[in-house]
Structure 1
């Protein structure tokens, strides 16, 4: 069921204040390193208050979206909101996340949450958490498991729908033009890369938009630029780029400009995320369309963690509502953009 999550009591007040600080998140870097960091140790809870200890393993700091997502979580899961957060950065390596989750199990935290680097290979460590009676919450990305009892809830966007929205707009704008398209995929094996590709391909099926090449840029601006440079050397007839996130699209802009062409005009660009850097490029006409992927999942995670610890039932799948923007909509949204 698609719905906007809301928080109660002090969590709502603090998370709302935290969201006002996220305008610069697209250029900030999330904490790095594989060692765990405690985000809430400096605050003391009032005597008698219950504190929920939660271990969170983040994918990494590969993009502006991820930085905003990390900030939302750290700004919401604070001591004053009733949480003791242990945070780790997996640096986009599954083995680091598995190690972090096992560390949280050993610590005996109340809740484990993580955004999986890839979809597969999680059953053994999640079974260990289940055996220790520690509930697990997935954020942003799903796991590919036949046993959905291994986690309590999955909070995040519908990546297939995001791809469909991007593809439908491409067909509406460019079908009949014989456009040749290249695709900058996200991290191989990750849920957003798999699902966004699937959704976009389904949406353009039957149109005359032709995908002539598709390679991973690993969700980073640097690799997006490198892959686009390769595409431009290999093909002289690229009309359209579909990038699975803004950062790879921004990298593609750099490559296109370096090749003496005008992004948004000579080569159209469609991306997903809608972080501030991407939205600015859209407002400037260098990107043509962006489908949003909302990174502000901290309040959602806090509410579900509270309910799980209290023994309340929670929705198995919580879909975050996403919007889409053309150039005019981006220019209108930018002054109040929170990430």
Structure 2
């Protein structure tokens, strides 16, 4: 009889163990939370060759370490095809939540949809995923920030002045939104003589700016969709010794230093570390089965001397 009872208890113990195979513990607190994956988080970041996204990843990593969750970071290197492969790899790792910072908001959609179809929760950060209903979007108000920066540029150079726009990666939601904010203000009060992509890259920003200045040397101002391109534009302008006002976006350390030195007119401060931190904390809530807001805006502010 005792052997029979012991056998029943062993079967029950095995059944309970199997039933709990999808449960995880976070931060050593012993809290059991249901998850479709293994309780880890995947972060697919557009590039780690840009200080802004380095800060975003560092914010995510610091939050994950503090909360005791595993975070896998994949660098797409500004290559949308690689990002799709990175996401498929994170899916194969059985992550519970995918945080994605798209290279291209359209191109990333199929891979994100595949993650969702397999029960993985998805958070977009800084840039949206077009055509896909993700669980949460975390981003700055890029339209408002760009409009605010352009209005400040107008104050510095006057209405009717010629300006150039350095655009980001084509198809990225940040490129689309910042361009919309710029044109909302510029098309009424400025003469936009050039709008060209420099792919959010400093070296390309310098080259594109050199070409623009060769075509029209009477430009008075530049709005760049990010600080890396703005810094590249500054290098090109320095060689001409012209007084051209440059406004960027992101408030990276290098850009803020240039603003403080008076060489750059302004930049828009986002908070990439806070974005990364917020994304991880939101992911933890999703793993726990909690409801989260569909959109979590992160404030921006204008940085001037």
TM-score above 0.5, yes or no: yes
Contact 1:225 1:254 in 2 (8 A): yes
Which of 139, 161, 169 is equivalent to 1:187?
Answer: 169
- Show the counterpart of 2:216: 235
- Show the counterpart of 2:180: 198
Which of 76, 97, 108 is equivalent to 1:111?
Answer: 97
Contact 1:241 1:268 in 2 (8 A): yes
Summarize deviations over 1:188-234 as a string: whole Å, max 9, x none: 11111111011110112321x10001111111111111111111211
Provide the C-alpha distance between the structure 2 equivalents of 1:303 and 1:290, rounded to a whole number of angstroms: 28
Provide the C-alpha distance between the structure 1 equivalents of 2:49 and 2:156, rounded to a whole number of angstroms: 31
Provide the C-alpha distance between the structure 2 equivalents of 1:222 and 1:246, rounded to a whole number of angstroms: 12
1:46, CA displacement in angstroms?
Answer: 4.5
1:53, CA displacement in angstroms?
Answer: 0.3
Which of 42, 50, 55 is equivalent to 1:55?
Answer: 42
Kindly tell me: are residues 123 and 278 of structure 1, through their superposed partners in 2, closer, same or farther at Cα, counting changes over 3 Å? closer
Which of 144, 156, 168 is equivalent to 1:161?
Answer: 144
Contact 2:175 2:225 in 1 (8 A): yes
Provide the C-alpha distance between the structure 1 equivalents of 2:27 and 2:281, rounded to a whole number of angstroms: 18
CA RMSD of aligned residues (A): 1.9
Where in structure 1 do 4 or more consecutive aligned residues deviate above 4 Å? 44-51
- Point out where structure 2 has 5 or more consecutive residues left out of the alignment: 1-25, 33-37
Which of 311, 321, 326 is equivalent to 2:289?
Answer: 311
Alignment of 1:301 with 2:279, yes or no, is: yes
Provide the C-alpha distance between the structure 1 equivalents of 2:88 and 2:185, rounded to a whole number of angstroms: 40
Task: Please give the TM-score of this superposition, normalised by the length of structure 2.
Answer: 0.85
1:45, CA displacement in angstroms?
Answer: 6.6
Alignment of 1:69 with 2:47, yes or no, is: no
Contact 2:153 2:245 in 1 (8 A): no
Deviates more, 1:120-129 or 1:277-286: 120-129
Provide the C-alpha distance between the structure 1 equivalents of 2:256 and 2:110, rounded to a whole number of angstroms: 40
- SS of the residue aligned with 1:56? strand
Task: Please give the TM-score of this superposition, normalised by the length of structure 1.
Answer: 0.77
- SS of the residue aligned with 2:247? strand
Summarize deviations over 1:244-274 as a string: whole Å, max 9, x none: 1111111111111122x15xxx111111111
Provide the C-alpha distance between the structure 2 equivalents of 1:127 and 1:189, rounded to a whole number of angstroms: 18
Contact 2:63 2:281 in 1 (8 A): no
Summarize deviations over 1:105-152 as a string: whole Å, max 9, x none: 22211111110001113343223212211101111110111x42xx11
Provide the C-alpha distance between the structure 2 equivalents of 1:45 and 1:190, rounded to a whole number of angstroms: 35
1:1-339 equivalence runs, <5 A: 46=28, 48=30, 52-78=39-65, 80-145=66-131, 147-148=132-133, 151-176=134-159, 178-207=160-189, 209-259=190-240, 261-262=241-242, 266-296=243-273, 297-327=275-305
Provide the C-alpha distance between the structure 2 equivalents of 1:236 and 1:128, rounded to a whole number of angstroms: 49
Provide the C-alpha distance between the structure 2 equivalents of 1:91 and 1:291, rounded to a whole number of angstroms: 24
Provide the C-alpha distance between the structure 1 equivalents of 2:129 and 2:62, rounded to a whole number of angstroms: 26
Kindly tell me: are residues 210 and 62 of structure 1, through their superposed partners in 2, closer, same or farther at Cα, counting changes over 3 Å? farther
- SS of the residue aligned with 1:83? coil
Provide the C-alpha distance between the structure 2 equivalents of 1:282 and 1:47, rounded to a whole number of angstroms: 46
